[in-house]
Structure 1
Amino acid sequence: MDGSNRSTVRVRDEFHTWTESWLRIAQQLPHPSPFAQPWWLRHVARGTPVHLLVLVDDEPVGGIALTARRVLGVDVLRPAGHGVPCPDHVDLVAVPGHEDAVAAAFAGWFAGPGDRVLDLAGAPERSLAARSLGVAAVPMDVAPYEPLAGSFLESRSASFRRNVRRTEKRLARDGVAQWSATPDTVGRALDAFEALHRDRPDRAPLLAEMDRLRPALAEAVGCGEARIDVLEVAGRTAAVSVAFLVAGRLALYQLARSTAREHDGAGTVLLVRVVEQAVADGCTEVDMLRGEEAYKGGFASRRRVLTRVRAAHGVRGRALLAGWDGVRRAHAVRARVQARARTRVSSARGGA
């Protein structure tokens, strides 16, 4: 902060009475995140909420929304939805021009009495929390994205356009219907979403989180910051998409698709329709969020790097973080050994 500014900085452990101010701060960020919205923080958080709000002359200028879980006498601080819900672009946030004040306030709070560990998975590449605490933001994943202008489908590769149009025609022969959830129908749409995921054992961890995600998504649909779209073919649900709409950005969060052979490609068709509607509504970007799954390559040509920011304070906090690092290194070594063993066995069989 400018040395001529004599403003004071205070940190409060809640912002329930500052929701409008928090939203104003969040909207001014370079990359406004749906995972900083009140409906996400209210419903998806697990543990004790730790909401830090930095004020300058009683005016909120930044902060961070975390949850705390006590582990061996240490407060482990993570973003709301850490784990399977996979939030990204979670970070210490600040109104432009107040980054130094917010960073200093957070560092002072973090270094206060007590033992604590900060674990931000999905932080942006230039994390303010990392800068505040003087730690590295370690690359952990990417988030593909694409600016939107004009027809989205026409901007894609020739093979992608051809496949989408071919699938559209094939599905149309059986009768296609698409509908978007309203506050009155969001429950039915989410029922369809869950039903499709029950056919896939790998989606069981996500289904286990739906008790928390359902009220968050229902509230987001109600305030126009989420859309849930259902594609039906011959009267059967073929695909369901869940997307967020924040500050002119469409963030594609989840896709459930039928495993029936006759529904092949239905998920891609639905996502293209959702993106095209977002263009018509004035959105300027589609964000594919965390993960580099192969299908995202057809939708996005650019990538943002996501990082993990971890820091510890206190003797027990540093010991806990060091122990976790040791376990991770041991797992990594074991994985490499197992991979080499499989390679040797495969080579031996090939030469037999």
Structure 2
Amino acid sequence: MSDRALELTRVANLDAARDDWIRLADAAGNPFTTWEWASGWWRHFGGDRELLVSIARRPDRTAAAILPLYVSATSPARTVRFVGQGPADQLAPVCAPEDLKPATLALRDALESDMGGWQVAIADRLPGEAGIAGLLGGRVVRSESSPVLHHDGDFDSFLASRSRNFREQVRRRERRLERDHRIAFRLTDDPERLESDFETLVRLHRARWGESSSAFQPPLDRFHHEFAGAALERGWLRLWTLEVDGRPAACWLGYRMGGAEWYYQAGRDPALEREAVGFVLMAHTVRETLDDGIGEYRLLLGGEGYKDRFANADHGLETVALGRGVRGRLALAAARAASAAPPVLRRQLRRLAG
């Protein structure tokens, strides 16, 4: 496809793009750009904000991409962002991987046409490996880690590729847990169990991280529960529970889509920290992924040390910002200055900004 072969058509609401969106999201293989994620996010967080959704069409009028933007703020500058941003760990135009470059150029064309009268445009968490951040013509304002494990082989061959110390830890920790306790790994595949299993995940996540994590703070908990239900129906959901002596000890939430396992969140019982139940469950999910013939395990946003023990690549995520007009450029300059301030001052500025 020619890089400039797409024509944009604005739609009034998300429903108007639903059928094309579902088809293109399946091709994209990213749970955070699915119709289910975006429509649920909009119900919970859209409020009375303005939608700016376009369909990018080929010359034959078939849809090649969805460009789902919205006006996130009107002060101090009219700002547009991707629908679904915030809890999403990776975003992009909704399209097949081979159409990502022309879709991004179509997004740039839309912004250059003054779509929505924007003054600041923010494209959050674009995949670094796609090389599309530079196509928007803005400035990369944030780079984040997003580790991934690529491996063509089963779990045993993966372990053989790692250090002796890591191999021994994986095997020893699970053997020790099995020796001292009765354990079971359970995957949620029954809609009747989803609510209780999801509540267990949230409870264990809060037990481990408390107020330091906002991942499941209301209303995010309701949004994620709703999306988990949709993902279960579509066959994407991977919600694992490790039970120790008949009681939940750790939970792992992810999605299987686009030939990859996407690890999103987890929780564990702090009382079983010495038993390394979180590590044991993580290793189990990697085993299940590789032994099922899925050669990509995405550990997603964040460069925590435990992720590096499993990952063998990190293509990163890039957030791009563009300023338009005097107000837009001043707003971006102020944001850059605030980001360089000490943490205490940044918190004070966020409180002042509401």
Fold shared per TM-score above 0.5: yes
3-state SS in 2 of match to 1:192: helix
Counterpart residue identity of residue 55, structure 2:
L
Match runs of 1:9-48 below 5 Å:
9-13=7-11, 14-29=13-28, 32-45=29-42, 46-47=45-46, 48=49
Identity %: 25
In structure 2, which of residues 257, 269, 280 is the aligned counterpart of residue 258 of structure 1? Answer: 269
Distance, in Å, in 1 between the alignment partners of 2:130 and 2:307 is 25
In structure 1, which of residues 180, 187, 196 is the aligned counterpart of residue 195 of structure 2? Answer: 187
Which protein has the larger Cα radius of gyration, Structure 1 or Structure 2?
1
Distance, in Å, in 2 between the alignment partners of 1:248 and 1:268 is 24
Q: CA deviation at 1:331?
A: 3.5
Counterpart residue identity of residue 53, structure 1:
I
Counterpart residue identity of residue 180, structure 1:
L
Q: Which residue of 2 aligns with 1:230?
A: 241
More helix by share: 2
Q: CA deviation at 1:247?
A: 1.2
3-state SS in 2 of match to 1:205: coil
Distance 1:39 1:95, change over 3 A: closer
Counterpart residue identity of residue 52, structure 1:
S
- Maintained 8 Å contact 1:92/1:129: no
Distance, in Å, in 2 between the alignment partners of 1:120 and 1:218 is 28
- Maintained 8 Å contact 1:243/1:253: yes
3-state SS in 1 of match to 2:69: strand
Distance 1:333 1:170, change over 3 A: closer
Distance 1:294 1:161, change over 3 A: same
TM-score by length of 2: 0.82
In structure 2, which of residues 122, 125, 128 is the aligned counterpart of residue 122 of structure 1? Answer: 125
Q: Which residue of 2 aligns with 1:345?
A: none
Q: Deviations over 1:214-272 (max 9, x none)?
A: 10112112211121011110122110000111111001111111111466311111122
Q: CA RMSD in A?
A: 2.9
3-state SS in 2 of match to 1:187: helix
Quick check: 1:91 aligned with 2:92? yes
- Maintained 8 Å contact 1:103/1:128: no
Which range is displaced more, 90-99 or 32-41?
90-99
Distance, in Å, in 2 between the alignment partners of 1:274 and 1:126 is 24
Distance 1:198 1:133, change over 3 A: closer
In structure 2, which of residues 148, 168, 175 is the aligned counterpart of residue 169 of structure 1? Answer: 175
Distance 1:292 1:97, change over 3 A: closer
Counterpart residue identity of residue 181, structure 2:
D
Q: CA deviation at 1:69?
A: 1.9
Quick check: 1:63 aligned with 2:83? no
Distance, in Å, in 1 between the alignment partners of 2:19 and 2:93 is 18
- Maintained 8 Å contact 1:92/1:127: no
Q: CA deviation at 1:25?
A: 3.1
Equivalences, count:
329
Q: Deviations over 1:52-75 (max 9, x none)?
A: 221123211123223432231643
Which range is displaced more, 64-73 or 53-62?
64-73
Counterpart residue identity of residue 144, structure 2:
D
Q: Deviations over 1:146-180 (max 9, x none)?
A: 12333225423322222222222222231012211
Unpaired runs of 5+ in structure 1? Answer: 336-352
Which range is displaced more, 314-323 or 290-299?
314-323
In structure 2, which of residues 321, 329, 340 is the aligned counterpart of residue 318 of structure 1? Answer: 329
Counterpart residue identity of residue 279, structure 1:
L
In structure 1, which of residues 280, 293, 298 is the aligned counterpart of residue 304 of structure 2? Answer: 293
Distance, in Å, in 1 between the alignment partners of 2:14 and 2:211 is 37
3-state SS in 2 of match to 1:198: helix
3-state SS in 2 of match to 1:12: strand
Distance, in Å, in 2 between the alignment partners of 1:118 and 1:171 is 50
Unpaired runs of 5+ in structure 2? Answer: 347-354
Q: CA deviation at 1:17?
A: 3.6
Counterpart residue identity of residue 320, structure 1:
A
Quick check: 1:196 aligned with 2:204? yes
Distance 1:155 1:43, change over 3 A: same
